[in-house]
Structures are given as structure tokens and as C-alpha cells.
Structure 1
Amino acid sequence: MPAPRESELREVELREYETRVVEGIRLGPADRALCASEELARRLKVRELAGGRLEVTAGPCVGVVRFDACEIRILPKYLGGELDVLRMLEYAAGRGLPPLDAPRTVREGAPHLRDLVALLLTEECERLLSRGVRQDYVTVEEDLPAVRGRLLADRQLLRHYGRLDRLACRFDEHDTDILDNRLCGAAIDLAARTARSASVRARARRAATGFARIAPTPLGDLRSALAALDHHRHNSHYRSAHRWAALLLSGGGVADLLAPGPLASRAFLVDMNVLFEAFLTRLLREAAAGTGFTVHDQTRHRGVLYDERTERPYGEIRPDVLVSGSVDGERLCRPVDLKYKLYDNGKLSPADLYQAFLYAHALARQPSAGLPTCVLLHPGGASRTRESIAVRRWDGTTSARVRSVSLHLPSVLGALGDAGRDVVLAKVWAAVLE
């Protein structure tokens, strides 16, 4: 049976953490191989049931997975839409989202997250091509009729002994076939072949043709290419293009780049746990600017858990954020735990409370003999009241406190892009330090 065309693909929508059973879908061999891959299984669970039914369980990921007979689209649970995910990505990276008129550009309906990334990549690549792509010196080894650069004596003896019309040379040449352009070329070629939107594919194909001409050498291993990539004043205008290119080529994984590992080109899933942590860390750093406080992320503390028998550290604890500074000359240290969970319909989970209380007991320092406090930041409704939970000893005294602070992410994202930026930063900072 021939594979269905793009327009005939059945679209299955669900939210993060949701489970759906879909009727009338059978997986092909390539689909089963994709479902069995460790990279996808960490983000999306797909189980075949009897009678041609499919059980799909989404984790804390947003994006799209394409099978032969259907396309699974996972929408954000705590945000307004997939464009908000891109805003979080760009804010976490220290940049603002460039203007994007997706409804006008993508005419086939609401674009999914992968097509939005492909569209942003296409716009950046078009901008680079219009202003002229970067050239740099690359080392070339070639047999020439006259000496250019350095004569390779050993190669000349082995390959052209006694000949003077073919000289083995090594020289530097100013060329566009460099890593900056190869990364863009590989990503825009992928967008041109795999974007679901016909209008995005058409634009990407035109840009891909341009990059194929100026950078024909294959990119090779993505991780090696990203490790070798270096941004400086000569290629700083490539930053946005490289970010969208890396995101698309890695299948939405953002570890190093925000990613646990590359996915097949048919899957594009952004881990919202990782993104939420990166977004909130940047938000707290920006809120702390000018206050005299320092925001540390993922600091390691090996001396907290201690093995009394061996007199060695038993392990390490690593809070998401540690805020340190002084108030009226007294030291303040406030651990902050970031949880991408919605607690609006229930209490804080015991496991999250135990972890936060450990941070409060071991790492928090409060001026004026106040209670050691850990703040737990999580998504939530704008009307949710803040919770404050304390540990009470057998004698009735309290030893530590955990304060739960919910953030209405759509409101925060909206305020960060307009005049309300300073207000929302001040509110978040006050909630952490109160």
C-alpha cells in the first residue's frame, strides 16, 4: 500500500502528560523501529493494542512525531500555544524572538512546532543569502601544474615521482564551503524535505539550493560540528540561524543545546522540563541584576550527604538555583527548586517536598535567625494562592520551610515582551526572597 500523501496524514492531537487511544491506525516496520528507540521512548510512549488501536502517552514534551499513517502532535499544557515554546527557547538563550507572521506564511492551517522552527530557520537563511554569506580560509590539498602555497615533498615522491607537470601542493583558499554555511545547508535541506507545510517547503527549497551551491561538503556528525562551532565578531550574525539549525537537526532535543540525544528526522520533541529550568534560571538572573545578589545554577555540594563509616561523601546534591547575597549585612542563601508540574488540582507531591526540605536544611541561610527556606517555583494559574509548608519537630518548634510559588507562564511571557517586563521581574524576585 502506498504511503499517504501529506494532506491525507491523519493528525492526532494531545497535551503533555495526556494518554489517548486512537482507533484505526497500524504501525509500519519503520514506525515500530522509531517507537523502540531509546531517544523517543524517553519522551513519548506508543503501544499497539488489539483491533488496530494505538495508545499514545505524552510526557513533558512538545512537538510532533510523524508515522506512516498519522502524525502525533503534542501541544503545551501550561502555555498558550507552540509559539510560546519558541519564545521560551529564545529567552532562555538570551535573545528575543524575531518577528514571525506564521498565519500569513503557513497557509495550510495552524503550523506545528517543527514547521515553525523550519520557518524561522528559512527566514534566517534567506537573510544570510541576501546579505552575502561568510567566507573564510580553508586548507586545500591539490595537484597543480605550478607550485601554490607549500609543496608536499613526500606526497610528490609517492604519487608523481619525476614529474614536473603535477605538483602536490597545500594552500589556503578563501571559500564559502565552511562550517558556518555547512550547518545552515544541512538544516535547510532537511526543512525542504520534511516540513509538512507546502509553503514552508517551497521557501526552504529555494534557500537550500543556494546553500548547496556555496557549501557542498556534507556536515558530518552533528555533535562534532557543534563542538567545533565558534561564534565571534565575524560570524555573530549566524547565531540565530545556527540555533534553529541545531534545534531542527537534533530533533528538538535541547541538551547542550537543551538535548538528551538526536532523534530521527520524523520526530521533533522539545523537553519542557529542561526548557522550563533554563527559562526560569535566565529569568532569575535578569531579576537579580543590580540587587547585589548572585544566582548560581546547578551548583554541586558533595559534603552534605556523608558516610559516617567511611568518612567520605555519600553523594552530592545539586539544587536547580542557589541565590546568595546579604540583607542588612547578614548572609542570605536561598535554594530554589524548579518543577515543571501543575499543582493547581492537588497538594505538592511528597517527593518534591522532601527534596526541597533537604535543600532548606542543608543549604539555606536566613538572616536574623529566620527559618531556613527553600522556594519551589512551578507553573500554575494566576489565581493560585502561595503555599508555605514547614517541618515541625516533636517539641512543636519548626526547623525549615518550603514556599510554593506558581507562575502563570503565558502572562510572564507576554510581559517579558512589552513595558511590563520590569514589573514581572520584580514580582518574581520578591516572591523568591520574601
Structure 2
Amino acid sequence: MSHLSVSEWGRVPVLDRPDDAGFTRTQANALITAARAHPLGGDEGTGILSDHYRHLTARQMVGMIAAPGCSLEILPKIDPAEGEDIETRSTVRQRLVRMLDVALGLNIGDGAAASMARQQDSLLDILIRIFADKLLTEARRGLPRMYLAQEQDLPALRGRLNVVRQFTAHAVRPDRLACRFDALSNDIPLLQVMKACVIALRRHARAGATIRKLDELRFVLADISDVGVSALPWGSVRIDRTNRRWETLYGLARLFLKRDWQATHRASDAGQGITLLFPMNDLFEAYVAALMRKAIRPLDLSVESQGGRLFCLIEEGGRGRFQTKPDLILRRRPKDGGKVVAIIDTKWKRLSPLVEDRKHGVSQSDVYQMMAYGQLYDCRELVLLYPHHAGLGETGLTLPYRVSNSVDRLHLRSLDVRLREPLILDQLSGMSTLWVTSNRVTEAFPA
């Protein structure tokens, strides 16, 4: 099976004969077919890959796309100056795992992600290994159990008598009692999901150590019912204080088996593999939102993601048109009035250095959109947040602008996702503190 890695907007050669440097035309066609069938594929699969006959171009998706006999890993990239060597790719892969960990709330842990991402495994290999390691650790500590309703015909009464069954099926069998009772069992929905995930991943794992761990897990879960992926009891899974330590594993299982916002796609062909794709714009937004919630805790603010929902226009009959959904809204708690402190729009785009473009490549439509947000939500601090890259200098970019004929300010800021989370939290906390202070000054001395 051919496996290649490429960065966002990167090219993969299409060759006349099999080679480690590219895909054959048959493999390229299979990947394009998989892209077209994927929920994120868009028009003719161009949302994931575009076909230029002699090469395939990756779009702004990251993760894995699989087809029969081949797979392609797409890694995030924001700085064209970054190299393409193995060491750099392993660093980018580690960064991607960290972003997924924070954005999806998987609680993988930075140490585990870093140690695995240093190897030459793909993103899928890393996530499978993390799942296998964590599940084996928790299984050795003991499987969760719960009381399940049982119905059995027994020689002695246990629990309650099933009167209807007793006087129909056992009317002439006084030696048999139809019993209803609750029994403590491991065969619960949570473990049925875990077993289904282990079986599915066993077909796609490539590392020998990971395969051995998955085989051991199948033995440990031998008494759990085999349930097909389409019939898994997702709605019956309950995470509470008794099984809280399984929450991360349940999140990983959903990542592999369900189609959530990242649009995991599993083909019916077992040889095709698992496709894990994440729109990079959405991932960056979720990553910033998760960190911002931690950063503003001391400030007693709240964060709304894709909230607001105010309309730009109202018809004569009162019906709204052109609904707005700002990426992130920072507002005070309801007890403090719930006023909007700042609105942040995240953009996974490359800001141009000043020497290249005095407007830094910021889209005019993005500016208009932020001005509309300021008007609709009565917000003074508007922020366009971009990923940082080396071309912008050593520190994060900070450019405040005053909106014409208004006290509103539009900030261009960059956030360096290469930093460790504590440093990013410090940056976000500093930004939020300034915005809160600015709002208090404006309220005390209105224009």
C-alpha cells in the first residue's frame, strides 16, 4: 500500500509507474473518487483534492484520506519558508495532534503526543497507538460495570416474577419461574463501543507493537457483545463520575467511528482504510476557542462559539435576513449585564509582511464583516486573528486600527501555534485583559 505525506496546498506527482515519490494514475483516480464521496468533498471532490492530471493538489483540509491501495496524509502549513524534511513534518504532525487534542477535548496529553509524533508514523497511526495505549491501561485497572435488566427462567425466584410469561409459557411447569432482575455486568454500551473500535482499528493498524496491543484488547473484551458500527448504542452511553476516566477513550472512539464535525469517513471496503479529515479553518477556530475559555476564567467572562445569531436585515413582517454567526464572542456574565466585550474572527490564512503588502493581505470583505459585527453587537473591540509565521517577526503581530467615525477598534493579531499551550494562554489572557480594560474606560468616558 502506498502512503505519502503532503502539506496544505502542496502537490503530489502522478507518475506513469509505481514510485515512492508519487501515485500512479490508478491510485490518483481512487483518491479523487474517495474525495468525491466524502461529505467535505464539495464539488467533484475539489474541497479535498484537485486533479491536474500530472499532479494532485491538496486543499485546506488536514488529516488522512484513504483509498484502495493508497492513502495521503495532509499536514497543516502556514509558512512557505518551512522545509519539507522528515524532521519538520514530524514537528508539524506533533503540532496537529496537539491542536486536535485541545480542540476536541481528547485529553491525550502533550507528552504522549510529542513522543509518538517524533516517529515517522502517519497521523492515523499515532491516534490508533494513543487509543490502544490508553484503552489497555484503563482495562488493566478494571472494566466499568453497571446493573442491566435481565429476564431468565430459573428454578428459584430471583428478583421479581414475570407474571405474564409465568402463566403462559410456564403454565404447566411449576419447576420453572420467569424472573426479572438486575445483574451487574460488563456488557454495557460504553464497552460495546470500545470493542467495535478495537476491531475496526485492528484492520488498519500498521505498527507491530500497536497490532499486538489491539489483539490483547480483543482478548480482554472477549465477553463483550459484538455490535456492528451502524448498530452501536451511542445514545445509551453515559459518562459520569463512576467512569470519568473513560471519557477520553470515548472521544477517540467517536473520532474513529462516527461522523462528527471533522467528518470521519469509513468505507465499506475494509481495505480502503479510515479517512480522517478536518477543515483547517474550523480546527483553528475550535483550538482558539478551547484555549480562550481557559484564559478568561480569572476575568469572569464567557465565550460563545458560532453564537450571536443576530440578523443584519429585518423585513416588513419582522422576519430576519442574513443571520450572523461570529466565530467567538467574549461577553460578561449575565449577572454583569452580558455585554459583549470583544468579537474574534479566526482566519487560517497567511498574513503578508508589511514589506509585501501594506494591508497585510487582509480581505476587504473580512473588514466589512467585522464592522457589521461591531454595529449589530454594540462591540468596541473587533479582532481578526491569524496564525503567526516567521515572516511577521519574532513576536506576534499586533496592529490596532480605529474604525472611521466610531470608537470601535479593529485589531489584526497573530497567534503562534508553534508555542506550548501555557505560553499561548498567557497571550490570550493578556489580550482579553486589555479588551476588558478598554471597555471599562469607554463606558466611564463615552464619546
Question: What is residue 297 of structure 2 aligned with on the other side?
Answer: 289
**Structure 1 residues 173-182 or 78-87, which shifts more?**
78-87
Query: What corresponds to 2:375 in structure 1?
Result: 361
Is 1:168 equivalent to 2:178 in the alignment? yes
Residue 7 of structure 2 is matched in structure 1 by 15
Q: Tell me the amino acid that sits aligned with residue 247 of structure 1.
A: L
The letter of the residue matching 1:92 is A
How far residue 407 of structure 1 moved from its aligned partner, in angstroms, is: 0.7
2:209 to 176, 193, 199: 199
Specify the alignment match of 1:214 in structure 2: 223
Correspondence list, 1:290-369, <5 A: 290-307=298-315, 309-325=316-332, 333-344=341-352, 346-365=360-379
- Residues 213-232 of structure 1 correspond to what in structure 2 (within 5 A)? 213-218=222-227, 220-221=229-230, 225-232=233-240
Distance 2:286 2:6 in 1: 24
Superposed displacement of residue 273, structure 1: 2.6
Q: Match for residue 125 of structure 1?
A: 135
| Equivalent residues of 1:64, 1:72 under 8 A apart | yes
Amino acid at match of 2:321: Y
Structure 1 unaligned residues grouped into runs of 5+? 1-8, 366-371
Superposition TM-score, scaled by structure 2 size: 0.77
Alignment partner, residue 368 of structure 1: none
Query: Relative to structure 1, is the Cα distance of residues 429 and 239 closer, same or farther in structure 2, using a 3 angstrom cutoff?
Result: same
> What SS does the corresponding residue of 2:153 show, helix, strand or coil?
strand
Match of 2:427 in 1: 424
Q: Distance in 2 between matches of 1:142 and 1:311?
A: 61
Alignment CA distance shift 1:173-1:410 (3 Å) = same
Counterpart of 1:410 in 2: which secondary structure?
coil
Between Structure 1 and Structure 2, how many residues are aligned?
397
Separation of aligned partners in 1, 2:381 and 2:162? 68
CA contact (8 A) 1:341 1:379 kept: yes
Q: For 1:198-253, what per-residue CA distance to the aligned partner results, in whole angstroms no more than 9, with x for missing partners?
A: 32222222122212x1312416547x744332221110111121122221223xx5
Work out whether residues 117 and 248 of structure 1, in 8 Å CA contact, stay in contact via their aligned partners in 2: no
Q: Which residue of 2 aligns with 1:87?
A: 98
Amino acid at match of 2:150: V
Instruction: Indicate the SS of the match to 2:164.
Output: helix
In the superposition, the TM-score normalised over structure 1's length comes to: 0.79
SS of corresponding position for 2:386: strand
| In structure 1, C-alpha distance between the alignment counterparts of 2:205 and 2:113, rounded to whole Å | 14
- The aligned amino acid for 2:363 is S
Query: What whole-Å deviation, never above 9, does each CA across 1:92-135 have from its counterpart, x for those lacking one?
Result: 3557543655797799x511111111111111111112111111
Listed one character per residue, the Cα deviations across residues 108-165 of structure 1 (whole Å, up to 9, x for unaligned) are x511111111111111111112111111111122333433323333334554442334
1:288–1:176 distance in 2 versus 1, CA, 3 Å: same
Partner residue in 2 for 1:404: 412
Which is worse superposed, 116-125 or 277-286? 277-286
Residues 8, 76 of structure 2: 8 Å contact kept: yes
* Residue aligned with 1:347, SS: coil
What is residue 58 of structure 1 aligned with on the other side?
A: 58
Kindly tell me: are residues 322 and 40 of structure 1, through their superposed partners in 2, closer, same or farther at Cα, counting changes over 3 Å? closer
Using the TM superposition, name which of 28-37 and 237-246 deviates more.
28-37
RMSD (CA atoms):
3.5
Q: For residues 66 and 314 of structure 1, what CA distance do their matches in structure 2 show?
A: 40
- Where structure 2 has 5 or more consecutive residues not aligned to the other structure, the ranges are 16-23, 80-90, 268-272, 354-359, 439-447
CA contact (8 A) 1:187 1:249 kept: yes
Match of 2:357 in 1: none
Verify: 1:376 aligned to 2:384, yes or no.
yes
Distance 2:279 2:181 in 1: 45
Deviates more, 1:76-85 or 1:171-180: 76-85
CA distance in 2, matches of 1:31, 1:400: 48
Q: Is the 8 A contact 2:63 2:277 kept in 1?
A: yes
> In the alignment, is the contact (CA less than 8 A) between 2:195 and 2:224 conserved in 1?
yes
Post-superposition CA distance 1:53-74 (Å, at most 9, x none)? 5x53433322222222322111
Q: Retained in 2: the 8 A contact 1:45–1:56?
A: no
Question: How many angstroms does 1:178 deviate by?
Answer: 0.6
Counterpart secondary structure, 2:298: coil
Q: Secondary structure at the match of 1:409?
A: coil
Identical amino acids, percent of aligned pairs? 24
For 1:228-267, what aligned pairs fall within 5 Å after superposition? 228-250=236-258, 254-255=260-261, 259-260=262-263, 262-264=265-267, 265-267=273-275
Aligned partner of 1:4 in structure 2 is none
Match of 2:199 in 1: 189
> Kindly tell me: are residues 89 and 178 of structure 1, through their superposed partners in 2, closer, same or farther at Cα, counting changes over 3 Å?
same
Query: Offset at 1:422?
Result: 5.9
The Cα of 1:363 is off from its aligned counterpart by: 1.3
| CA distance 1:271–1:49, change in 2 (3 Å) | closer
